[in-house]
Amino acid sequence: MDNFKDYPLLAAHAHLQSRVSKRAIDKVIEIWKRAEINMPPFVAAYAIHYQTSPEICTRYNHPHGSGCSFGSRCHFLHRCLFCGCMSSSPHGMFFRDRNDAFICEEYRQFRHEMRDFQDRYNEAKDFNIIVEQMRLVYEKS
């Protein structure tokens, strides 16, 4: 848990997550719950981190991966919540290609590091728990 040197993306994202307050995260999760948006809890930190006006579109980044049906009429930003869409091809966080691989290169690489980390340290398999643990490590340091 204490050594992320082989896992640069895990480290970067744990650091990002640790800089967002737990209270703000809980608030976003509560808003999503009320709106019946079924997002994994760890994504809430990114919604806060990428504070833009208008906000990044939740539909575009929904885990169903099929994007936002409002298209160009949508009032929200169509950017990836995970990488902020720094990559060359526009995508939502959970978009997949025809081989079912994630289009977001950073998210794909992140998941790869996560799996490796889990195998190596035999940590809990729940993605959200691991991110939360990493967040606490960074909060303490």
**Given the rule CB under 5 A, which residues bind Zn ion?**
57, 59-60, 68, 70, 74, 76, 80, 82-83, 104
CB of 75 to Zn ion, least distance (A): 8
Judged by CB, which is closer to Zn ion: 3, or 89? 89
Judged by CB, which is closer to Zn ion: 23, or 73? 73
Phi, psi of 137 (to 5 degrees): -60, -45
CB of 1 to Zn ion, least distance (A): 26
Judged by CB, which is closer to Zn ion: 34, or 73? 73
Q: What is the DSSP string of 30-88?
A: HHHHHTT----GGGHHHHHHT--SSPBPTTTT-TT-S--TTGGG-SSB---TTTTT-SS
CB of 7 to Zn ion, least distance (A): 18
